């Protein structure tokens, strides 16, 4: 194998991989730099532990509903690139919420408040952006030019007295397009009137009466195929005994009202999920909501109805808020440490291994570039974010990557000490070093994988970079360092074995006579 | 540099040699003393756990203008929000760090606001971390679980790749490294944070990296050894250690340099935090790891191997061959000296090495 080894082929393979990486990193994605984690750009990260009633672990349904509610709240902050993810499984499930750039504590506190679901009578509906009002509560005339301080215009807005002129003004001035969904937390007082926005686009705004039913009145909700002919999916609702009697009473009243006051606003977390019209009094405690629901919409609404009251307590495991200034400081310190560390390693390698050391330096720089490209690619593809711990992992990996070159070079020099000539030493040294490099890298990789899968939060970033660099190390050592040393070994200068080559037989103390003997 | 290179040349040829394996009692005693000290300190004083493990809150305020950095102001601000500061430290030149016992999310918000107004800055300039009391327990549990899974998988891998005595010796060295590193933390009182735990776990991978490199050479030197009678297993293993000594030193230096760089920049620029915690754990762990791969792993390996009757028989064959052999070859047994490194021409040994290779 050693005889037929063609270094140029390896280099070509590496070049193709590199080009693919460059194309992948810069062509497909939306970002040309690695995505930075919150500890480097500022922002808030909360790790929430969901706990079911009585300390039980949460079911998958409950979890997905919880995540949906949190996502709805986070989207309400209107921050781009916010993310809500789950990590771990079973009793160890965590919900990780990341909101870049935002460090307002109130917003974060609102995340863990219990979600409320209730049914309210619709008193008025209007297009989400102020223009015309299709209907108001009887007796109320719209004021022409409402001037309301902007801070009041964050839904949901509540009052005990819907006839308060200020409240009416707010309803007129409210612009739902300005708010993702909700921005004011979830202070949904069931006994008060409510002004808020709808969930679906185009957003409508609603004036709603105090709640008639709450989430605890609902026994079950399921999504199903439409029973008769056309129309979308539908949701069947069954109510508890007390819920059924409340529902009967309300529907009896609503069925006789005019549009839009014959509608229910189903409000979750201060947002109107759906506004079904009541066609008739529903007495049996079983109702069906029909409409143009897709299967997924129906499924989501059914889950919201069933778990709306959020039977899950969210404990804050870890909440960290990093100001953009501190984030920036940390980023610069980490980069400085990386540069400095790389420089030290380069100096050592060049001083000790001379020309071979230069090969190692170029290999290191190549590995670093490949790592950078991978960060961009993975950031675009799987949303990988680079955290402080991640950068630390990369810096530590400089040493581990350089170690595999050291292993190879020392092997090579061992072969020269045995009296082999350079070209055969290069091949034999590699054959022996290869196994060691693979075994050692495998152990590092194993440690990284285990760390990644058994941890939550920051640790993952570190483990991920460490694992990634190990893989890159193998690629670089096999497809770059080895062929490069091979090509160098063909050069007359290296074969002369001057003191700068790092492979001088004299300096290595190889017996001179064997040179001739071989 | 070239001195290290020269030493490397001589070590490789066996002109210079140090009897690592033969002096194992010394290393064992040194390590046992460290282990006893570690476990003792852990038992008595325990670790200095960060807020991530105890639960609590931490705030960092970037103060505008270095002259305004004032510990009392911070303490008062925290108190006015209804909390008590358990520690207030000045970090870097213009940052102040406050730690408090566990708070509710609402109270934590109050502290943030109070600090912001006390230092005349915006709420968004205050960095904070609030940790629930169960988080740390979970981090530790995960770490312990990761440790066990890692040990089992690595034991399997090493048994498969090498052989079980090597797996056992490697893992013993590994446990030794982690225990002593943690012990040093207890002894010095460095704060243990999740970043430190990551550091500890990374040592696992690194410590084995070194050991794998040495064992690979041991395996190479001892291949086909039992059929010959030139060198005993103990001698071959010791030669491997000497031959890889420069490599071990180099890989350790190269691995330590970046860690040292993180540590320096971290201390000067950032003060306590993820970078420092991680780098410190790695720094201590890597030093211990290098020590153990040379002084602990291989001697243990030899000890296990020498329980094998075949290895014993071969060792006595070597012994008797030397007795019957020419008088000048008696020097083939490694010579110990109080200075450790013995130099001088031992041409006989070089030939032995080379012939044992070619005999392979």
* Span A104-129, pLDDT tens digits: 666 666 676 666 788 888 888 887 76
What's the CA gap between B349 and B360, in Å, rounded? 17
Contact B128 A321 (CB under 8 A): yes
| For residues A164-172, average pLDDT | 77
pLDDT higher than threshold 90 for residue A346? yes
**A516 in a domain, yes or no?**
no
Q: Identify whether residues A228 and A343 lie together within a single domain.
A: no
Taking the alpha carbons at both ends of chain A, their separation in whole angstroms is 21
Using CB atoms within 10 Å of the CB of residue B74, give its burial: 0 to 12 exposed, 13 to 18 middle, 19+ buried.
Answer: buried
Residues A191 and A280 in one domain: yes
- CB distance B109 to B59 below 8 Å: no
Edge to edge, the sheet with strand B56-62 lists A83-87, A94-100, A43-52, A312-322, B126-131, B56-62, B95-100, B87-91
- Measure the N-to-C terminal CA separation of chain B; round to a whole number of Å: 33
In a domain, A280, yes or no: yes
Side-chain half-sphere CA neighbours of B49 within 13 A: 17
- Residue A479: the pLDDT is 93
Residue B348's pLDDT band (boundaries 50, 70, 90)?
A: very low
In the predicted model, is pLDDT for residue B99 greater than 80? yes
Contacts for A508 with CB less than 8 Å, ≥ 6 apart: A413, A416, A417, B5, B9
Confidence at residue A106, expressed as pLDDT on a 0 to 100 scale:
64
Q: Which of A91-95, B127-131, B343-347 has the lowest mean pLDDT?
A: B343-347
| pLDDT band per the 50, 70, 90 thresholds, residue A365 | very high
Position A130 scores a pLDDT of 62
- Kindly report each contact of residues A344-352 with a partner whose C-beta sits within 8 Å and lies 24 or more positions away, as own/partner: A344/B257, A344/B258, A344/B260, A344/B261, A345/A398, A345/A399, A345/A402, A345/B254, A345/B257, A345/B258, A348/B253, A348/B254, A348/B257, A349/A402, A349/A405, A349/A406, A349/B254, A351/B1, A352/A502, A352/B1, A352/B4, A352/B5, A352/B250
Cα–Cα distance for residue pair B55/B49, rounded to 1 Å: 10
The neighbour count for residue B241, using CB atoms within 10 Å, is: 27
CA distances from B56 to A313, B73, B105, B142, B265 (A): 20, 20, 11, 20, 27
Lowest mean pLDDT among B13-17, B33-37, B283-287, B317-321: B13-17
Q: What pLDDT shows up at residue A476?
A: 94
b/e per residue, A425-460, with b = 16+ CB within 10 A? Answer: bbbbbbebbbebbbbbbbbbbbbbbbbbebbbbbbb
Do A387 and A364 lie in one domain? The reply is: yes
The reported pLDDT for the residue numbered B138 is 74
Provide the phi-psi class of A81: left if phi over 0, else alpha when psi is between -120 and 50, else beta.
Answer: left
User: Are both A100 and A120 inside the same structural domain?
Assistant: no
Give the number of other Cβ atoms within 10 Å of residue A171's Cβ.
27
Alpha-carbon span B195 to B281, nearest angstrom: 9
Residues A172, A219, single domain; the answer is yes
Residues A386 and A469 in one domain: yes
- Tell me, what's the pLDDT at B68? 66
User: What pLDDT is stored for residue A392 in this prediction?
Assistant: 85
Residues B255 and A339: their CA atoms lie apart, in Å, by: 15
Domain ranges of chain B: 2-49+135-312, 56-131
Average pLDDT of span A76-84: 72
- For residues A210 and A192, the answer to whether their CB atoms sit within 8 Å is yes
| Residues spanned by the domain of A209 | 112-308
| Residue among B262, B267, B285, B287 with most chain A CBs within 10 A, to mutate | B262
Per-residue confidence (pLDDT) for residue A40, from 0 to 100 = 86
Which DSSP state fits A92? G
Residue B6 has a pLDDT of 77
Give the model's pLDDT for residue A396.
86
- Domain total for chain A? 3
In the 8-state DSSP scheme, what is residue A181?
S
Query: What is the rounded average pLDDT of the residues B334-355?
Result: 41
H-run or E-run covering A441: helix A422-453
Q: Residue A235: phi, psi to the nearest 5?
A: -120, 125
Residues of A in contact with B135 (CB under 8 A): 47, 317-318
- Tell me which of B23 and A92 has the higher pLDDT: B23
* A275 three-class SS: coil
**Structure tokens of A299?**
């499924």
B chain contacts of residue A388, beta-carbon cutoff 8 Å: 273-275
What average pLDDT does the segment B35-64 reach? Answer: 84
pLDDT tens-digit readout, B107-164: 888 888 888 888 888 777 788 888 877 777 777 777 788 888 888 988 899 899 999 9
Q: What class has domain B2-49+135-312?
A: mainly alpha
> Which range (A34-38, A132-136, A342-346, B67-71) has the least confidence?
A132-136
* Per-residue pLDDT, B165: 92
Cβ atoms A322, A43 nearer than 8 A: yes
Tens-place pLDDT, residues B220-247: 888 888 888 888 999 999 999 998 888 8
- Which pair of structure tokens corresponds to residue A259? 């549009």
The answer to whether A139 touches A162, Cβ cutoff 8 Å, is: no
pLDDT above 90 (res A447): no
Give the residue carrying structure tokens 């501190």: A326
pLDDT band for position B257 (cuts 50, 70, 90)? very high
Whether B342 shows a pLDDT value over 50: the answer reads: no
Considering only CB atoms, B212 lies closest to which of A104, A395, A443, namely: A443
The residues with which A87 forms a beta bridge, in sequence order, are A94
Same structural domain, A184 and A68: no
- Rounded CA gap, A332 and B4, in Å? 36
Asked if the structure places residue A340 within a domain, the reply is yes
Residue B344, judged by CB atoms within 10 A of its CB (0-12, 13-18, 19+), counts as: exposed
Using a 10 angstrom Cβ sphere, with 0-12 exposed, 13-18 middle and 19 or more buried, the burial of residue B215 is buried
Residue A133 above 50 pLDDT?
A: no
**Residue B228 region, left (φ>0) first, then alpha (ψ -120 to 50), else beta?**
beta
- The pLDDT > 70 percentage for chain A reads 81
**Distance from the B269 Cα atom to the nearest Cα atom in chain A, whole angstroms:** 6
Under an 8 A CB cutoff, do B257 and A345 touch?
A: yes
Query: Any idea what the CATH number is for the domain that residue A404 is in?
Result: 1.20.1640.10
Coil vs helix vs strand at B95: strand
Which B positions 53-112 lie with beta carbon below 8 A of chain A? 60, 62, 95, 105-106, 108-109, 112
Band (A76; pLDDT cuts 50, 70, 90): low
Q: Which of A60-69, B159-168, B171-180, B225-234 has the lowest mean pLDDT?
A: A60-69
Q: What angle do CA A490, A496, A502 make, to 5 degrees?
A: 85
- CA-based nearest residue in chain B for residue A453: B146
């610069």: which residue's tokens?
A332
- Single pTM value for the model: 0.72
Q: What pLDDT score does A63 carry?
A: 83
Report how far residue A341's alpha carbon sits from residue A399's, in angstroms, rounded to the nearest whole number. Answer: 9
The model's confidence at residue A180, banded by pLDDT at 50, 70 and 90, is very low
Res. B79: pLDDT tops 80: yes
- What percent of chain A has pLDDT above 90? 13
- Over chain A, what is the mean pLDDT? 79
Is residue B47 within 8 Å of B121, Cβ to Cβ?
no
Q: What is the predicted pLDDT for the residue at A330?
A: 85
Q: Which pLDDT score, from 0 to 100, does residue B335 have?
A: 43
Percent of chain B with pLDDT over 70: 86
Cβ-based neighbours of A143, under 8 Å, separated by 6 or more? A165, A168, A169, A172
Q: What is residue A513's predicted lDDT score, i.e. its pLDDT? A: 45
Average pLDDT for A446-459: 77
Is a pLDDT exceeding 70 seen at residue A374? yes
Per-residue pLDDT at A364 exceeds 90: yes
- Which pLDDT band holds residue B186 (cuts at 50, 70, 90)? confident
The answer for residues whose C-beta is within 8 angstroms of residue A503's C-beta and 6 or more apart is A355, A356, A412, A413, A416, A422, A425, A494, A497
CA proximity to A62, closest of A310, A237, A292, A239: A310
CB atoms within 10 A of CB A34: 23
Which among B95, B161, B278 has the least Cβ separation from residue A392? B278
**Longest CA pairwise span in chain B (Å):** 90
Nearest Cα residue to B225 out of B106, B152, B314, B333? B314
User: How confident is the model over B189-213, as a mean pLDDT?
Assistant: 81
In the predicted model, is pLDDT for residue A329 greater than 70?
yes
- The mean predicted confidence, pLDDT, of chain B is 80
Q: What are the tokens at A27?
A: 């062509």
Neighbours of A492 (CB within 10 A): 6
Class of domain B56-131: alpha beta
pLDDT of residue B106: 75
The answer as to whether A1 is a domain residue is: no
Q: How confident is the model at residue B45 (pLDDT cuts 50, 70, 90)?
A: confident
Residues A145 and A249 in one domain: yes
CATH number of the domain to which A303 belongs: 3.30.1360.200
Out of A110-119, A172-181, A380-389, the most confident range is A380-389
**Do A340 and B266 make contact, defined as CB atoms within 8 angstroms?**
no
Is A478 within the bounds of a domain?
yes
Note whether A18 and A370 are within 8 A (CB). Answer: yes
**Is the domain of A349 the same as that of A298?**
no
Residue A145 is predicted with a pLDDT of 41
| Predicted pLDDT at A310 | 59
pLDDT interval class at A183 (50, 70, 90):
very low
Chain B neighbors of A331, CB-CB under 8 A: none
All residues of chain A having their beta carbon less than 8 Å from the beta carbon of residue B132 are 49, 315-318
Torsion A218-A219-A221-A227 (CA) sign: negative
Top residue of A37, A91, A436, A464 to mutate, by most chain B CBs within 10 Å, is: A436
Residue A187 in 3-state DSSP? coil
Which of A184-188, A302-306, A319-323, A456-460 has the least mean pLDDT?
A184-188
């Amino acid at each position: 194998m050693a005889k037929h080894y063609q270094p140029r082929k390896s280099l070509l393979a590496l070049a193709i991989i590199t080009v693919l990486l460059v194309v992948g990193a810069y062509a497909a994605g939306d970002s040309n730099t690695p995505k930075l984690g919150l500890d480097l750009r500022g922002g808030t990260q909360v790790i929430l532990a969901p706990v079911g009633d009585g300390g039980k672990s949460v079911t998958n349904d409950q979890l997905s509903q919880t995540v949906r509610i949190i996502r709805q709240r986070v989207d309400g902050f209107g921050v781009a690139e916010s993310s809500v993810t789950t990590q771990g499984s079973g009793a160890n499930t965590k919900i990780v919420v990341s909101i870049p750039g935002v460090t307002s504590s109130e917003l974060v506190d609102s995340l863990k408040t219990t979600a409320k679901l209730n049914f309210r009578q619709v008193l008025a509906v209007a297009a989400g952006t102020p223009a015309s009002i299709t209907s108001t509560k009887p007796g109320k005339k719209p004021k022409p030019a409402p001037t309301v301080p902007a801070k009041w215009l964050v839904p949901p807005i509540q009052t005990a007295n819907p006839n308060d002129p200020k409240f009416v003004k707010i309803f007129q001035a409210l612009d739902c397009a300005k708010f993702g969904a909700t921005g004011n937390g979830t202070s949904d007082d069931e006994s008060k009137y409510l002004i808020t926005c709808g969930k679906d686009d185009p957003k409508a705004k609603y004036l709603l009466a105090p709640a008639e039913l709450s989430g605890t009145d609902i026994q079950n909700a399921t999504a199903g195929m439409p029973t008769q002919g056309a129309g979308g999916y539908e949701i069947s609702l069954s109510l508890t005994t007390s819920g059924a009697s409340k529902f009967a009473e309300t529907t009896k009243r609503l069925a006789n009202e005019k549009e839009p006051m014959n509608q229910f606003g189903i409000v979750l977390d201060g947002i109107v999920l759906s506004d079904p019209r009541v066609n008739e009094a529903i007495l049996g405690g079983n109702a069906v909501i029909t409409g143009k629901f897709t299967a997924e919409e129906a499924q989501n609404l059914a889950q919201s109805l069933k778990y709306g009251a959020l039977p899950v307590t969210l404990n804050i495991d870890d909440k960290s808020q990093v100001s953009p200034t501190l984030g920036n400081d940390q980023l610069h310190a980490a980069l400085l440490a990386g540069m400095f560390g790389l420089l030290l390693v380069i100096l050592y390698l060049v001083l000790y291994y001379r020309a071979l050391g230069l090969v190692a330096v170029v290999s290191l720089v190549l590995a670093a570039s490949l790592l950078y490209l991978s960060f961009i690619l993975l950031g675009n593809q799987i949303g990988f974010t680079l955290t402080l711990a991640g950068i630390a992992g990369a810096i530590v990996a400089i040493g581990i990557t350089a170690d595999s070159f050291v292993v190879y070079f020392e092997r090579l020099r061992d072969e020269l000490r045995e009296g082999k000539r350079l070209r055969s030493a290069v091949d034999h040294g590699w054959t022996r070093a290869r196994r060691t490099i693979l075994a050692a890298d495998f152990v590092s990789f194993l440690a990284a994988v285990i760390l990644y899968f058994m941890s939550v939060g920051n640790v993952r970033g570190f483990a991920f970079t460490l694992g990634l660099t190990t893989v890159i190390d193998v690629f670089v050592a096999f497809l770059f360092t080895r062929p490069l040393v091979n090509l160098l070994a063909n050069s007359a200068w290296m074969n002369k074995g001057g003191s700068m080559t790092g492979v001088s037989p004299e300096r290595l103390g190889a017996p001179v006579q064997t040179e001739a003997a071989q | 540099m070239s001195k290290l290179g020269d030493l490397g040349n001589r070590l490789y040829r066996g002109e210079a040699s140090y009897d690592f394996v033969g002096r194992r009692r010394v290393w064992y005693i040194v390590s046992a003393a460290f282990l006893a000290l570690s476990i003792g300190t852990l038992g008595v004083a325990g670790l200095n756990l960060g807020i991530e493990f105890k639960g609590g809150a931490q705030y960092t305020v970037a103060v505008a203008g270095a002259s305004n950095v004032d510990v009392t102001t911070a303490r008062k601000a925290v108190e006015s929000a209804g909390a008590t500061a358990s520690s207030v430290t000045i970090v870097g030149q213009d940052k102040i760090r406050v730690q408090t016992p566990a708070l509710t999310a609402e109270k934590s918000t109050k502290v943030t606001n109070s600090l912001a107004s006390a230092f005349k800055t915006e709420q968004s300039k205050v960095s904070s971390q609030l940790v629930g009391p169960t988080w740390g327990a979970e981090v530790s549990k995960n770490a312990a679980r990761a440790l066990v899974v890692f040990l089992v998988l690595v034991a399997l891998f090493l048994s498969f790749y090498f052989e079980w005595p090597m797996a056992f010796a490697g893992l013993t060295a590994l446990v030794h490294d982690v225990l002593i590193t943690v012990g040093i933390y207890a002894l010095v009182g460095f704060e243990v944070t999740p970043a430190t735990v990551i550091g500890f776990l990374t040592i696992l991978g690194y410590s084995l990296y070194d050991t794998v490199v040495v064992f690979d050479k041991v395996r190479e030197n001892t291949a086909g050894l039992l059929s010959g009678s030139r060198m005993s297993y103990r001698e071959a293993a010791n030669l491997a250690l000497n031959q890889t000594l420069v490599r071990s030193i180099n890989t350790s230096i190269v691995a330590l340099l970046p860690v040292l760089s993180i540590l320096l920049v971290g201390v000067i620029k950032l003060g306590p935090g993820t970078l420092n915690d991680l780098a410190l754990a790695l720094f201590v762990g890597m030093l211990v790891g290098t020590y153990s791969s040379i002084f602990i792993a291989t001697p243990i390996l030899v000890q296990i191997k020498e329980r094998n009757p075949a290895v014993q028989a071969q060792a006595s064959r070597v012994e008797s061959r030397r007795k019957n052999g020419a008088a000048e070859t008696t020097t083939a047994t490694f010579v110990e000296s109080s200075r450790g490194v013995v130099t001088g021409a031992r041409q006989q040994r070089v030939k032995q090495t080379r012939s044992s290779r070619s005999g392979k």
